[in-house]
Amino acid sequence: MRLSPQKTGIILILPAVLLICSLLVYPVVYGIWLSFFKKHSFFPDQKFAGLANYLYLMRDPDFWMSVWYGTVYSVSTIVLQIVIGIIAALILNEAFRGRNFVRGVVLFPYMIPTVVAIILWKWLLNNQFGLVNYLLLAIGVVENPVSWMGKDHIMTSLIIISVWEFFPFVVLSVLARLQTIPLDLYEAAKVDGASAWSRFIHVTLPQLRNVLFVVILLRSIWMFTKFDTVWLLTQGGGAEKYIRTLPVYAYMRTFMYYQAGLGATLAVIMFGILIVSTMIYFRMFRREEEI
């Protein structure tokens, strides 16, 4: 028996499509449906609630705080990652001895489990025995140990840890693109007497445009929906309120207050915010280039 190429093609892709539809697309759709119900996370009972979940959140100060913390967190980490990532990529694009080794090591933070990144930094930032406080005290930057996990500094700690963990992604993408920029572009700019800075602005940056478009898009989506880094840092510090971003709030509603309906509503709101901002982003920056 011989199958037509048409049929063979469809049969081969079918398992993938079925899995994606049933385990990724369907849950999202089911989540939208759930957001119109009052639903307990464990028990099967559910009551239709119309827009009650959405209306509740609009009047919920904790929700607005989580929007605020989520925005502070994602905007600051994205900006820092991109800037530090580009600078690091430019350095690693230069010729120096041991370059490949440094390139490899710089990617480490991105590869390790988030749990490890968190316990590592909790140890470094420990207020009594942490190395960071020891060094800060030793060189006299501060007079008393900084309480990194306390309410005043926990957002800063979270941002430092996140930027450390995720900037290698930017390095990776930008470095790959840098290596393909034709050298004669720089030679021509040099002949024209352009300074290093103006070569960066007028030669490098335009060439990076496309890769940065994608990197900023992906990083924004992933930072805005980042759960594990934030959640794990909130454990056992007492200051969890001060970094309760939207994903953490959705998780808490579902798994600590057992309000799956409300949790689903929060996930839908996140999804909505992402889709709208992605569309605006595409409108503003997308030219005719392909991704």
Partner 1 sequence: MKSKNAFLSLRGQVIYWSAAILLVAAAFPFFWMVSTSFKPLREIFVSPPYFFPKDFTLANFDRLFEQTRFLIYFKNSLFVSSSAVVLTMTIASLGAYSLTRFKFYGREKIASLILFTYMFAPIMIVIPFYVLIRKIGIANTHFALIMAYTAFCLPFSLWLLRAFFQSIPMVLEEAALTDGAGRIRAVIYVILPLALPGIIATGIFTFILAWNDYIFVRILITSDELKTLSVGIADLYNATVIDWGMIMAGGMLITVPVLVFFVFIQRYLIAGWGTGTIKG
The residue type of 16 is A
Least distance CB 272 / partner 1 (angstroms): 10
Least distance CB 209 / partner 1 (angstroms): 15
Helices 205-224 and 260-285: angle between axes, nearest 10 degrees: 170
**Rounded to an integer, what distance in angstroms lies between the CA atom of residue 63 and that of residue 40?**
19
Least distance CB 60 / partner 1 (angstroms): 17
Of 116 and 205, which has the nearer Cβ to partner 1? Answer: 116
Structure token digits, residue 254: 């579902």
Least distance CB 157 / partner 1 (angstroms): 13
Of 63 and 121, which has the nearer Cβ to partner 1? Answer: 121
Of 58 and 102, which has the nearer Cβ to partner 1? Answer: 102
**Rounded to an integer, what distance in angstroms lies between the CA atom of residue 75 and that of residue 69?**
10
Of 9 and 182, which has the nearer Cβ to partner 1? Answer: 9
Place of tokens 């905007």: 75
Closest CA to 209 of 182, 244, 171, 177: 177
Are 109 and 165 in contact by the 8 Å Cβ rule? The answer is yes
Structure token digits, residue 136: 């800060």
Of 189 and 270, which has the nearer Cβ to partner 1? Answer: 270
**Rounded to an integer, what distance in angstroms lies between the CA atom of residue 142 and that of residue 150?**
16
Of 87 and 185, which has the nearer Cβ to partner 1? Answer: 87
Task: Please give the helix or strand (H or E) that residue 210 lies within, else none.
Answer: helix 205-224
Place of tokens 């406080």: 133
Least distance CB 51 / partner 1 (angstroms): 18
Least distance CB 250 / partner 1 (angstroms): 6
